[in-house]
Structure 1
Amino acid sequence: MAGGLVALLDDVAALARLAAASIDDVGAAAGRASAKAAGVVVDDAAVTPRYVQGLAPERELAIIGRIAKGSIINKLVFILPAALLLSQFAPWLLTPILMVGGTYLCFEGAEKIWEKLSGHGHGTDEPASVSGPEQEKTVVSGAVRTDFILSAEIMVISLNEIADESFWSRAIILVVVAIGITALVYGAVGLIVKMDDIGLALTRRTSSAAQALGRGLVKAMPIVLATLATVGIVAMLWVGGHILLVGVDDLGWHGPYGLVHDLEVAVHDAAGAAGAVLGWLTNTAASAVVGLAVGAVVVAVLHLVPRRSTSSH
């Protein structure tokens, strides 16, 4: 009886170790998948704050919460089942779909640069000065639509990283990625948009140090938002270009990515101790250049060519 109990306890311990290892594996895989989608995550975090600019301060977190809820629904209800079905029954479609998304990111990044240089912006960066439930509903709907595109890209990039896992492992890992990234993005957005309110509150403290910190936060906010927007543009070009380079390599055209990889290796070998960082920066810069070139072509096709056709008439 005692021997049977010991054996049972050994089995339970073994199962517990197996479960712990599985949890560790899921966490590690989710971490790898999330890291691959980092550029799109940065873009998502950069895009969202503009939707609450101009809102009453007491409504900002409520609106961000509603957008975050819509983002979770996008990822878990719509994107996750479709991505899993594709990966199970038509995995060959993942690379082309990923490349379509990468081209869209290149277009978005190049279009933002073109708008800044030409002054032909669409006004999307203007503060969303709204009031009332209907106007807030419009703001949330627009933000959730934009999030859908970015969320789809995040989930497909993540799925591509874990394509060799079993079906249920992929499902669990993607759920972890969806919840984790949504919490990270909208938690960061909430902190960013409330930073000036935190600063104002600090300026009312009696402590001179707190007042100085508060004034610094208030002054820093425009710089933070501008920097975040620029980082978002660079991230779109970098991630989009890298997706296209890897995609054409997977489809059999090895020249472009091979050239970038050889350049990365050459910089890595020549740079000594800083080789790893400089090599990565080389790959990133080359990917961004490719992204800008592809995005510029799409911008020209969608914007400049129709303008010239219209003016010719």
Structure 2
Amino acid sequence: MAGGLVALFDDVAVLARAAAASVDDIGAAAGRASVKAAGVVVDDTAVTPQYVHGLAAERELPIIRKIAVGSLRNKLLIILPAILLLSQFLPVLLTPILMVGGAYLCYEGAEKVWHKLRGHADEHAAGEETVPDEKTIVSGAVRTDFILSAEIMVISLNEVVDEGFWSRAIILAVVALGITVLVYGVVGLIVKMDDVGLSLSQRSGKGVAGFGRGLVKGMPKLLTALTVVGTAAMLWVGGHILLVGTDELGFHLLYDVVHHLEEAAHEATGALGGVVGWLVNTLGSALLGLVVGAVVVVVMTLTVHRRRAH
């Protein structure tokens, strides 16, 4: 009997060690996948604050919370099951679907550029604009987040494609939760820094109060800059999705041109080659995104928007 209990405890210990090893493996794989998606995470963080820019301070965090919930719902209930099933049964469709999302991001970015260029024509309309509809703001943000989230999840999937089906599911769920918390936690901090600055500016210490006043003065400029960065990020990420996607589908010209320019810049700039090469790749992707986005804007203006106007 005692021998049986000892054997049972040994079996339990072996199972526990195996479970712990699996948890470690999943954690490590989730970490690798998250690192690969880091570039898109930065873009997601830059894009989101523009949706609460100009709103009442007390509504900023509630709206960000709604966007975060929508983002997590996108990742866990729509994107995760879809990419798992596609990777299992129809992996060939992942790239075309992602490219459709990339084209939509290009359209979003190009439309923002177009509205900015037409700023003088829209001044009158802007002056009559009422308080933004929160439901519209949230739905627009969640829609844009869907594309970025899909890019994050597909990049992450590519890092764990050799894992079993259920391991992939768990790893990607961990990535989805971790990245959502990270992105919207940082966004929440960014948009509330002016409140932190106001609180610090009322402290008795001159240094602390001065720092607080600096935050209050600087945050509007930071949020405006993030709006620009967010628009550029849409064009960059969308263009990069299309650039890589066309190469994977067998049309190599665009990718090869950008890749050769990147390599030439890398070789010509010595120690700064890595940074300069990345900038060249980013600029090439953004230009492609702007061109594709502009074409979609023209098509939408001549079709969908014209029908709505009538």
Band the TM-score falls in, shorter-chain normalisation: 0.7 to 0.9
CA distance in 2, matches of 1:128, 1:194: 23
Shift of 1:189: 1.8
Q: Which runs of 5+ in 1 are unaligned?
A: none
CA distance in 2, matches of 1:65, 1:32: 24
Give yes or no for the alignment of 1:18 onto 2:16: no
Alignment of 1:46-61 (within 5 A): 46-50=49-53, 53-55=54-56, 57=58, 59-61=59-61
For the Cα contact (< 8 Å) 1:55–1:128, is it kept in 2? no
The residue that corresponds to 1:35 in the other structure is 38
Q: Which runs of 5+ in 2 are unaligned?
A: none
Closer, same or farther in 2 for the Cα pair 1:209/1:100, shift >3 Å? Answer: same
Alignment of 1:239-250 (within 5 A): 239-250=237-248
CA distance in 1, matches of 2:144, 2:163: 29
Residue 45 of structure 1, aligned match among 44, 48, 60: 48
One-letter amino acid of the counterpart of residue 186, structure 2: A
CA distance in 1, matches of 2:57, 2:17: 55
- Residue range with higher mean Cα deviation, 108-117 or 30-39: 30-39
Give yes or no for the alignment of 1:200 onto 2:198: yes
Instruction: Deviation per CA, 1:46-70: give whole Å up to 9, x if none.
Output: 44433xx43352x433343233223
User: How many aligned residue pairs are there?
Assistant: 301
DSSP 3-state at the match of 1:37: helix
For the Cα contact (< 8 Å) 1:199–1:216, is it kept in 2? yes
CA distance in 2, matches of 1:95, 1:46: 29
Give yes or no for the alignment of 1:107 onto 2:68: no
The residue that corresponds to 1:254 in the other structure is 252
Closer, same or farther in 2 for the Cα pair 1:56/1:269, shift >3 Å? Answer: closer
Closer, same or farther in 2 for the Cα pair 1:194/1:32, shift >3 Å? Answer: closer
For the Cα contact (< 8 Å) 1:33–1:162, is it kept in 2? no
Closer, same or farther in 2 for the Cα pair 1:278/1:27, shift >3 Å? Answer: same
The residue that corresponds to 1:268 in the other structure is 266
For the Cα contact (< 8 Å) 1:98–1:157, is it kept in 2? no
Instruction: Deviation per CA, 1:226-268: give whole Å up to 9, x if none.
Output: 1111111111111111111111111111121112111111111
Shift of 1:146: 4.5
Closer, same or farther in 2 for the Cα pair 1:157/1:13, shift >3 Å? Answer: closer
- Residue range with higher mean Cα deviation, 94-103 or 253-262: 253-262
For the Cα contact (< 8 Å) 1:48–1:189, is it kept in 2? no
CA distance in 1, matches of 2:114, 2:63: 30
The residue that corresponds to 1:294 in the other structure is 292
Computed over aligned residues only, the root mean square deviation of the Cα atoms, in angstroms, reads 3.4
